[in-house]
Structure 1
Amino acid sequence: MQKQIRAVALTMLAGAAIAAAPAPAKAEESKASDPILGVWQNPAGTIEVKTQYCGRNLCGVVTEASPAAQADARRAGTDPLVGVHLLQNFVRVDTNAWSGTAFVPDMNVHVAAHISMIDADHLKISGCELGGLICKSQDWTKVR
């Protein structure tokens, strides 16, 4: 009797695993086609950030930085700048909007931030510190 119960349980588990297998593939496909993913450049053209999913959340890693941007970051205590996660733990809050944390390397601070897609090639990154007393926004351009 126990062998029959185990066999039924194993069959059910195997069926559940097979049924669940396509879901992650579909989720990965939808993530891959997400317009937020790509390489984005700041308005000054001094930093490029690659947006990608880090687990379930959106993140952005510095892939290129000008010598001036690297020097500014170094003075503030961030060295090296390339490879730093500038955008961290962003979750989708609307169709074209995310909230998370942005790291400001030339100030060496993390701030609450919001990303809004303007269109497929432009996004706005806004961040605030001191409980929203000091806020700044930048429009970034997709370069690839």
Structure 2
Amino acid sequence: MFGRTLTFSIFSAIAFPALAGASDITGLWARGDGKARVQVEKCGDDFCATNVWVKPGTPRERVGDKLVMDVQPISANRLEGKAKDVRRDLTYNMEITVNGDAMQTKGCLLGQIICKSANWTSLQ
């Protein structure tokens, strides 16, 4: 949601203005650690979170890394589902919570054993 960015990021994931219903996570998002920005947009039935900027020297992330998220709303501000890190060929369980212009993503591997969360701020 949100590369590893939304990748857990984003986008290691991904995605991510206020929602019109929980399903609208589209837009430009800055990761809380200041090391990445992702653009989240619809891609078919899914959402794609793509790194559009990565702070120089950030290991394992690069511009163009993409997270494809198959997430569904479970409440007014929460989505859950799966996310695929295209470059790394990894699939995560994904949770996205949006509150106004703030978003939190959580991606987990191996069930819920290895998880990483990221906070995001909308740049729209």
Q: Write the mapping of 1:75-86 to structure 2, written as runs, cut at 5 A.
A: 81-86=62-67
Q: Residues 43 and 87 from structure 1, CA distance in 2 versus in 1: closer, same or farther, beyond 3 angstroms?
A: farther
Runs of 4 or more above 3 Å deviation: 102-105, 107-110
Kindly report the root-mean-square deviation, in angstroms, between the aligned alpha carbons of the 2 structures.
Answer: 2.6
- Contact kept? 1:121, 1:142, Cα under 8 Å: yes
Q: Which amino acid in structure 1 is aligned with residue 69 of structure 2?
A: Q
Amino acid at match of 2:103: L
| Other-structure match for 1:101 | 83
* Structure 1 runs not aligned, ≥5 long: 1-32, 75-80
Give the secondary structure class of the aligned counterpart of 2:60: helix
Alignment CA distance shift 1:58-1:104 (3 Å): closer
| 1:85 Cα offset (Å) | 1.2
Superposed counterparts of 1:124-135, under 5 Å:
124-135=104-115
Measured after TM superposition, the shift of residue 51 of structure 1 is 1.0
For structure 2, list consecutive stretches of 5 or more residues without a partner in the other structure. Answer: 1-18
Structure 1 residue 87 displacement after superposition: 4.5
CA–CA separation in structure 1 for the residues paired with 2:36 and 2:93: 20
1:93-144 deviations in whole A, cap 9, x for unaligned? 3322222216398x87442111111x22101101112221122222111112
In 1, the alpha carbon distance for the partners of 2:42 and 2:115 equals 26
Point out the structure with the larger helix share.
Answer: 1
> Which of 128-137 and 45-54 deviates more?
128-137
Task: Tell which structure's C-alpha radius of gyration is larger.
Answer: 1
More strand by share: 2
**C-alpha distance in structure 2 between counterparts of 1:51 and 1:96, whole Å:** 16
Count of aligned residue pairs for this structure pair: 102
Residue 31 of structure 2 corresponds to residue 42 of structure 1: yes
The TM-score normalised by the length of structure 2 is: 0.67
Looking at structure 2, the residues matched to 139 and 82 of structure 1 have their Cα atoms a distance apart, in angstroms, of 19
Change over 3 Å in CA distance of 1:113–1:92 after alignment to 2: same
Aligned to 2:64, the other structure's residue is in SS state coil
Q: TM-score, normalised by structure 1?
A: 0.59
After TM superposition, the structure 1 = structure 2 runs for residues 58-77 of structure 1, keeping only pairs within 5 Å, are 58-69=47-58, 72-73=59-60
Identity of aligned residues (%): 25
